Structure formats: structure tokens, C-alpha cells
Amino acid sequence: MAPRNNNRKKNKTTMNTVGAVVGRLRSQAGLSQPELAERACVAPETIASIEQGRRPLLPHMAERLDDVLESKGVLWVMVDNLPEEAKFPVWVVEFVIHERDALTHYSYENQVLPGLLQTEGYARAVFRSNLPVLDEEEIEARVAHRLQRQAVLRRKKDPLNASFVIWEPVVRDALGGEEVRRTQLLHLRACADLPGVSIQILPLGRKTHAALNGPFVLLETPEHQLLAYTEVQRGGHLIRIPMK
């Protein structure tokens, strides 16, 4: 039996702890959640989600809340010292950890380009399309995290073998505008020249289709465990494929 992975549980506990500290500081400042949200220029739901541990507190938001709550940098220091995986949404934490160390990475995408292949401009356009709407600072933080993940494609030790299958409409679409699209297509061409990287376009007009259930990622860990990851609106699932 594969060892149980507690990273998701630990991340949830970390987010709950940070959220509890935010709630405590807010109460000490004599503010309600809507009042704090107004002063921090965010939606009340954002504050509620952070306090309930459902949403990670990103560095720029920690700094803003420290200013409003006059908490002398307490929140920023907490967030700055979190392990990297604790800065991602709970449902994606375990996937990000396994992605970083994977031997192989196979994926199919039919809506947007794979995160590992996105340019900065394209990633920004993806996050600007998010609903509920994200503020610009959070968008920039998410873009930075996405670009950091791409280092795995250039890993020197135990290079990654990666194969990406992308449905044709994804590369035809001009998400972010024509200039973003042009730069992104040039970037795809450059990525295709990386050692161990294969990019294929699944054309329109096929009579059969092996991925009608939607996008997915398959990873092989250093222990040769096969993992399948699928993501839906505001959630994701990591599935362990039984080893033979």
C-alpha cells in the first residue's frame, strides 16, 4: 500500500491557523468582516474565506491587512515563512508537490494551454478571466507561482519527460489578444525543442476522441506510482492508479 500523504491535511491546518490569526487581529481592531474588507479594498467574501481557511493568504494581501490592522507585519511574516505548498489552494497542493518531482508528465487540455507551457502574458489573461474576479495583486501573485512551477521543464537532475496534447481550438483562440497569442505560439515552439518535451495538437474533425471526459494530467512519481489529476471549477481530484 502506498504511504498516506498528509500534505493536503497539513496545508489545510496551516490555512486554518493563518485564518484564525486574521480573525483575532480583526476582532482586536474592533472591525467586522465587511468593515475590514472595505478598508482593504476587497470583497467581504475574500476576508471570510481567508478566516475560514478556505483561501490562502497571499503575501500582498497579508501586507495590506497588516497596514489596515496595524499588526506590525505579523501576517506578512507568517505568510513569508510558510512552506511553498501552503501558498496554493488546498485542492492543488498535493499535485504541485508531485509535479515538482515527477519522472513523467502527460496531459491533455481542451480549454486553455497547460500551465507549464504558458507565457506570463497568457497566464495573466487566464487569471483575469477568473470568476469571481481577482484583484490585480492576486493575479500577479498567481502568475508568479505558475511561472515558478515551469522550472521543472528545465530540471538538470533526473530530467522530466513531458508530453502535452492540446486540442486545436485552444491554440487558435486569441485569449489575451493577438500579441499575447503570437508570443505564446512562439513560446510553444521553443518549448517543443526542450529535451524530453513533446507537444502535439489534436486537430478538429476527428471521428473518434479518447478524451471526451475533459482535461487531465498523468504523473509518474520517483516511486513509479501513477497519479491522475483532474480539475473542475474551484476544485480538483488527485487519483492514485493501483500499481500492478
Contact residues for 23 (Cβ-Cβ < 8 A; gap 6+) = 51
Segment of 60-69, 95-104, 106-115 carrying the highest mean pLDDT: 106-115
Greater confidence (220 vs 9) lies with: 220
The arithmetic mean of pLDDT across residues 100-117, rounded, is 97
The model's confidence at residue 96, banded by pLDDT at 50, 70 and 90, is confident
Q: Which domains does the chain have, with CATH numbers?
A: 7-83 (1.10.260.40), 88-241 (no CATH)
Do 33 and 23 touch, CB atoms closer than 8 A?
Answer: no
The model's confidence at residue 2, banded by pLDDT at 50, 70 and 90, is very low
Inform me whether the pLDDT recorded for 101 exceeds 70. yes
Query: What pLDDT sits at residue 59?
Result: 82
Q: How far is CA 204 from CA 16, 151, 239, in A?
A: 45, 31, 29
- Kindly calculate the radius of gyration of the chain based on its CA atoms and give it in whole angstroms: 20
Q: What single-letter amino acid sits at 216?
A: F
d(CA 92, CA 55) in angstroms, rounded, equals 12
* pLDDT, tens digit (0-9, with 9 covering 90-100), for 171-190: 999 999 999 999 999 999 99
Q: List the grid coordinates of 175.
A: 485569449
* pLDDT, tens digit (0-9, with 9 covering 90-100), for 4-57: 455 555 455 778 889 999 999 999 999 999 999 999 998 888 899 899 987 778
Greater confidence (187 vs 131) lies with: 187
d(CA 8, CA 85) in angstroms, rounded, equals 9
Inform me whether the pLDDT recorded for 201 exceeds 50. yes
Contact residues for 76 (Cβ-Cβ < 8 A; gap 6+) = 59, 62, 63, 66
Closest CA to 162 of 225, 104, 227, 229: 104
Inform me whether the pLDDT recorded for 204 exceeds 70. yes
Closest CA to 43 of 34, 31, 53: 34
